[in-house]
Amino acid sequence: MPDHELKFVMLGESAVGKTSIIHRYISNQFNTMPESTITAYFHTKMIIVDSHSIRLHLWDTAGQERFQSIAPMYYRNADVILVVFAVDSADSLQKAILQIQDVKMSQVQRGQQIILLGNKCDKENQVKGQAEQYSKDFQIPVFWVSAFNGTGISDAVLYAIRKASSSKSSGNHLSGVVDIQAKREKGCCM
Ligand SMILES: Nc1nc2c(ncn2[C@@H]2O[C@H](COP(=O)(O)OP(=O)(O)O)[C@@H](O)[C@H]2O)c(=O)[nH]1
Ligand SMILES: [Mg+2]
pLDDT tens-digit profile, the chain (190 residues): 898 999 999 999 999 999 999 999 998 888 776 565 555 578 999 999 878 999 999 998 866 676 666 677 788 889 999 999 999 999 999 999 999 998 888 866 667 899 999 999 999 999 999 999 999 999 999 999 999 999 999 999 999 999 998 877 654 444 456 555 555 444 433 3
Ligand with an atom nearest the CA of residue 147: 1
Q: Tell me how far the alpha carbon of residue 190 lies from the centroid of ligand 1, in angstroms.
A: 24
| Residues 88, 153, 184: CA angle, nearest 5 degrees | 110
Q: Which of 143, 148, 91 is nearest to 113 (CA)?
A: 143
In whole angstroms, what is the distance from residue 169 CA to residue 22 CA?
Answer: 26
- The reported pLDDT for the residue numbered 58 is 94
If one residue of 10, 13, 19, 20 were mutated to test the ligand 1 pocket, choosing by the most ligand atoms within 8 A of its CB, it would be 20
Q: In this structure, which residues have their CB less than 5 angstroms from ion ligand 2?
A: 18-19, 37
Percent of the chain that is helix, strand, coil (3-state, to 5): 30, 25, 40
Angstrom distances, CA of residue 187 to CA of 4, 59, 83: 20, 9, 21
For the chain, list the domains and their CATH numbers. 4-185 (3.40.50.300)
Q: Tell me how far the alpha carbon of residue 111 lies from the centroid of ligand 1, in angstroms.
A: 29
- The reported pLDDT for the residue numbered 68 is 63
- The reported pLDDT for the residue numbered 91 is 97
Residues with CB under 6 A from ligand 1: 14-20, 32, 34, 37, 119-120, 122-123, 146-148
Q: Tell me how far the alpha carbon of residue 15 lies from the centroid of ligand 1, in angstroms.
A: 6
- The reported pLDDT for the residue numbered 188 is 38
- The reported pLDDT for the residue numbered 107 is 63
Please give the number of the atom of ligand 1 that sits closest to the Cα of 12: 20
